Amino acid sequence: MPELSTIEKQLNSLKLKSDDYQKNLRFYEEANTALNKYIENQQSPLVNKGKTIPECKSRKQSTKKISILKERVNKALWFAKSFGVDLQELKVDDSAGSTHDLLKNTKPAGRYDQMPETEQDKVKSLLYVLDKFGVSDDAYHELAVYNNGLPRSYLIKQCRQDINDICTITQTPDKSPSAQLTLKETLDRLLTRHDIEVEIPVIQIKFAADGAKMSRMSNFLVLSLAVLNRGEEVMSVSGQHTLAIVDGKEDFISIQESLSDIFKDINSLLAKRNEIGYIPYQSSSGQKYLLELFLGGDMKFLLISLGLNAANANFACLYCKIEKKNRYDMSKTFTGTTISKNQLKK
């Protein structure tokens, strides 16, 4: 049997270990208490102690609450950057059913041109939908008031104005209900879209016009141009670019008076034509081109443009001065009166 002294030593050793365990336990309990207090102190600034957002009666109060929430969300999500990621969107719904974007700037953009490019694209897309379905500015303003996720109505108006400033729209010289673009601005805008593979590319431009009966009492005359180098795009609506729209008849007087400004610009280009039929042209950006102009349209417009009568008139050919009764006779020649296709294109 072990001696009494050995047993006492073992008891004393166990007692010392128990005391150490007690000290360690007290230390960890105190440390745990301190950590809990620290966590509570860190969480308390993030907790809302006032009204909730749906309980705010005025827009000013709710905006202030949302601003506070955005600031605290940014503090709480500090760890995201440590993972090498950047949050792009964080939306929440309140109990009233309203949606709030907590990553958007608290202060709305003052002007459309001061917004980031991605935000501008969103406003442009929204403006396209509004114009396509005929939604008025007043109607959209009411929608934006009740939905904080929509851009403000003044940004939509500024976006529309910036787009309108891209081109100059004026009234035609005859003062009839009409609108026209300048030929210079339209050409510059279309030529910048063309892929340049040579130093001075040759661009083929076709002008055409046609009348359209819109109702029993109204007729419209539309003048457009197309870049023939575009290939199959010319056959679609996107390949036709309107230069002028006139509320009037498709006759010689209307074309002469309404489209006189555009015809002057075309004639000024034709006056620069070189010996091989090309027109040297320099855009606003400094790029040089060689233009080749063509006239197109239906038979009625072409006859009116060339000062000829109807298609059943005695002299109705677009290329020569042959009389109607002699069209069948292929043996005859018209030396001195024939206008070749090449001469007409020049």
Which range in 59-73, 198-212, 329-343 is most confidently predicted, on average pLDDT? 198-212
How much is the pLDDT for 293? 92
Mean pLDDT score of the chain: 81
Pair of tokens at residue 298? 């239906």
User: For 211, phi and psi rounded to 5 degrees?
Assistant: -95, 150
**What is d(CA 325, CA 27) in angstroms, rounded to the nearest whole number?**
120
pLDDT digits (tens, 9 = 90+) for 9-24: 777 777 777 777 787 8
How much is the pLDDT for 16? 72
Q: How confident is the model at residue 195 (pLDDT cuts 50, 70, 90)?
A: low
What is this structure's pTM? 0.55
How much is the pLDDT for 112? 84
Stretch 153-164: mean pLDDT: 89
- How much of the chain, in percent, has pLDDT values that exceed 90? 19
Q: How confident is the model at residue 336 (pLDDT cuts 50, 70, 90)?
A: very low
How much is the pLDDT for 207? 93
Q: Which long-range contacts does 228-235 make (Cβ < 8 Å, 24+ apart)?
A: 228/204, 228/294, 229/194, 229/201, 229/203, 229/204, 234/206
pLDDT digits (tens, 9 = 90+) for 138-156: 999 998 888 777 888 999 9
**What is d(CA 158, CA 112) in angstroms, rounded to the nearest whole number?**
6
Residue pair 346/273 in contact (Cβ under 8 Å)? The answer is yes
pLDDT digits (tens, 9 = 90+) for 228-260: 988 888 888 888 999 999 988 888 888 888 999
Q: Decide if pLDDT at 335 tops 90.
A: no
Residue 97, helix vs strand vs coil: coil
pLDDT digits (tens, 9 = 90+) for 87-111: 777 778 888 777 777 776 545 557 8
Task: Sort 217 into a burial class: Cβ within 10 Å, 0-12 / 13-18 / 19+.
Answer: exposed
276 or 156: whose pLDDT is higher?
A: 156
Q: Decide if pLDDT at 172 tops 80.
A: yes
Residue pair 303/297 in contact (Cβ under 8 Å)? The answer is no
How much is the pLDDT for 4? 65
